[in-house]
Amino acid sequence: MNDLNELRRVLDDRAASVDDHLAPAQPAAVHRRIAAIRRRRRTAAAGALAAAVVVAGSAVVLPRLGGDEGPEPTSLVGVDVPDTMDSLGFTYELVDTVSGKGSRAVLDLPASDQSRLVSWATSGDDDRVTLSGDLVVDPWSTDAADFSDFTLVPAGDGGQVVIEAASGTPGIAVYRATGERPAGYTRDGITFREEFAGGHLLAAVVGEPGQGEIDLPATADGPGVAVKLFCIGGPEAADTVLDLGGRPAITAGGGCADRTPLDPAAHGGSDFPTRVGEDVSVRVEIRSGGSAVVDDDMVVAVGIYSLDAYAPAPRGPAPTTLEHDGRVWRLVHVADSSRAEQVAELAPEGRGEILAVMTAGTGERLIDVTFGDRPGVRISAGESASLQQVVSAGEAVRIRQVGGKPLGDVRVSFYERVR
Amino acid sequence: MRPSRDDFDTFVVARSAPLLRTAYLLTHDHALAEDLLQTALAKAWFAWRRIDGDPEPYVRKILVNTYATWWRRKWHGERPSDELPETAGTARSEAESVASATDLWRAMETLPPRQRAVIVLRFFEDLSEAQTAELLGCSVGTVKSQQSKALAKLRIDPTLSLHDGTPEDLR
């Protein structure tokens, strides 16, 4: 058995062995490192330029990257760029800008361990811009082109965002998540925020490192709960076994992640219908090969949110509030088109960008769903399936059953962004 | 007044040596320690103008958290698997002491990154549990449990300390 004196002595001796004669040269070495980071960014932007020219022919993109100091307060295409931006209570700081030429700007964003926001502005009088690129699942348009809107790029993702302006030249600003977090439950750098999609946090816990079983008592106070849970640092092949209210609820594969999500509330999870007062205590166990996982590095975290509506099925009431792409949306219109052969609902006018949500329960029948003039998707909705897309006022959501028979249960809901 | 490049370079010259020592105790590798320190300083550079007051705690926080988050991805292959042999008694020969110190150092390499970070911060940096928790972005309870597990793995009995500087919470 050793003692603490021995430990201190070992640490001191080893530390003293470090050769620090390079200290005077460190600034130069660090600035070389900083220059290398900038070169990587320029290379990425130059790649975007080449791709844009090849694909678009006439497009030209001029990347403008940060100066020798960290990003300065700046103006881009004549519009002041905010130093920080907020998404769902999390603060993001400005890290990069790209100015376009002509009516187009292209951002090539390398994958990162951190969540980022991409925002934009234009120099023109008409603020309308269209977003596309492989980081934008389906192109969408907005009239907010003064760095007041953004799209969220989750940690781990990388790719291209293209901004095309109706008039003038667009510029793009990139923001990175900071350590500032919203109110809620925070432990070990993990935050379950207090508010989620119109609901609120009932209970949350972040387990001790190595703790593979979590018990979290809670009582429902509304029509549904959302259980958000994740595991990091454990085996990649582990199963997550979830009991709700003392009953088996879900067993999911997929294993543990290698990074902590910035905002666990926004990542997946499962919704359950509840009655007020019902026991919704959660028990989570991480298992592998039929036995409990033992791993000192593994951390399991669980949050239980009360929902203001439980509505995965189209017959139920539509949720009054949703989250999509790092933003909050409020219900403005519901079109119930059940039992029709086909549906064509128009997004309401005069509300800027609109989030259209199609919820259907069509059994095994196939349906075609089209948002505006984007490519359609063909799905089998089963008991309940949902698709979301940001659309413009007046754009149509079209649903048609393959074969021309009645659709079954279908609901189209429209939401406006809460600013 | 906004900090300048000169401020940054002055800081780097003045504080690189102690930061490099911390980096070495975390990584157990001179080249990786250099890499970790330069990465942390480069990250700090891009946030330099937003740092209020003494930048060292901020840089140290970046350094430790970069180590904790990158370790799994970049440096996973460096763990020796040797078990620390039991040593008995308090009166040891010089050779035994050297062997024990080497064993202890190698045993530290078996610790998960956060446990290793807790050991370095608590017993080299002499940070309190609260300071360690703040720096690692976790709770004091987590620091306590990580420290307890790490000491158990190192086969250190926290009651066997003759050092006046024994942290208050171990007494």
pLDDT of residue B77 exceeding 70, the answer is no
A10 is a domain residue = no
- Closest among A119, A125, A310 to A226, alpha carbons compared: A310
User: Going along chain B, which residue ranges are E strands?
Assistant: none
Could you give the number of structural domains in chain B? 2
DSSP letter, residue A288: E
- Among all residues of chain B, which has the CA nearest to that of A296? B112
C-alpha A7/C-alpha A9 separation (Å) is 5
Rounded alpha-carbon distances, angstroms, from residue A167 to A89, A112, A140, A143, A164: 32, 32, 16, 12, 9
Q: Is B67 in the same domain as B129?
A: no
Residue A1, pLDDT score: 56
Residue A397 lies in domain = 321-417
Whether B145 has its CB under 8 Å from any CB of chain A: the answer is yes
Could you tell me how far CA A248 lies from the centroid of its own chain? Answer: 29
Q: Is A170 in the same domain as A207?
A: no
Whether B6 has its CB under 8 Å from any CB of chain A: the answer is no
Are residues A399 and A369 in contact, defined by beta-carbon separation less than 8 angstroms? Answer: yes
**Hey, are the CB atoms on B46 and A66 less than 8 Å from each other?**
yes
A194 is a domain residue = yes
Q: Is A327 in the same domain as A398?
A: yes
Instruction: Write down which residue in A132, A155, A177 finishes a domain.
Output: A177
Residue A63, pLDDT score: 34
A23 is a domain residue = no
Are residues A303 and A242 in contact, defined by beta-carbon separation less than 8 angstroms? Answer: no
A382 is a domain residue = yes
Q: Is B72 in the same domain as B120?
A: no
Q: In this structure, what CATH number is given to the domain that contains residue B149?
A: 1.10.10.10
Could you give the number of structural domains in chain A? 3
Q: Is B1 in the same domain as B70?
A: yes
A171 is a domain residue = yes
Q: In this structure, what CATH number is given to the domain that contains residue B41?
A: 1.10.1740
pLDDT of residue A49 exceeding 50, the answer is no
Question: pLDDT confidence of A272, banded at 50, 70, 90?
Answer: confident
Give ∠ CA A311-A317-A318 in degrees, rounded to 5.
Answer: 70
A270's CB contacts (< 8 A; 6+ apart) are A226, A227, A242, A249, A250
**Hey, are the CB atoms on A3 and B47 less than 8 Å from each other?**
no
A13 is a domain residue = no
B169 is a domain residue = no
Model pLDDT for residues A185-229, shown as the tens digit of each residue:
988 778 999 999 888 999 999 998 889 999 999 999 988 999 999
Question: pLDDT confidence of A23, banded at 50, 70, 90?
Answer: low
Q: In this structure, what CATH number is given to the domain that contains residue A141?
A: 2.60.120
Written as one letter, the residue type at A300 is V
Q: Is B97 in the same domain as B145?
A: yes
DSSP letter, residue B84: P
Q: Is B2 in the same domain as B72?
A: yes
Which 274-333 residues of chain A touch chain B by CB within 8 A? Answer: 296-297
Q: Is A204 in the same domain as A255?
A: yes
**Hey, are the CB atoms on B161 and A4 less than 8 Å from each other?**
yes
pLDDT of residue B27 exceeding 80, the answer is yes
Which 46-85 residues of chain B touch chain A by CB within 8 A? Answer: 46-50, 69, 72-73
Residue positions counted in chain B: 171
Mean pLDDT within B146-156: 87
Instruction: Write down which residue in A118, A146, A177 finishes a domain.
Output: A177
Q: Is B18 in the same domain as B49?
A: yes
Mean pLDDT of chain A: 80
More reliable by pLDDT, B136 or B95 = B136
Q: Is A209 in the same domain as A146?
A: no
Residue B24 lies in domain = 1-77
Q: Is B4 in the same domain as B50?
A: yes
Mean pLDDT within B110-132: 90
Both tokens of A117, joined, read 């926001």
Rounded alpha-carbon distances, angstroms, from residue A71 to A74, A97, B46, B59: 8, 9, 7, 18
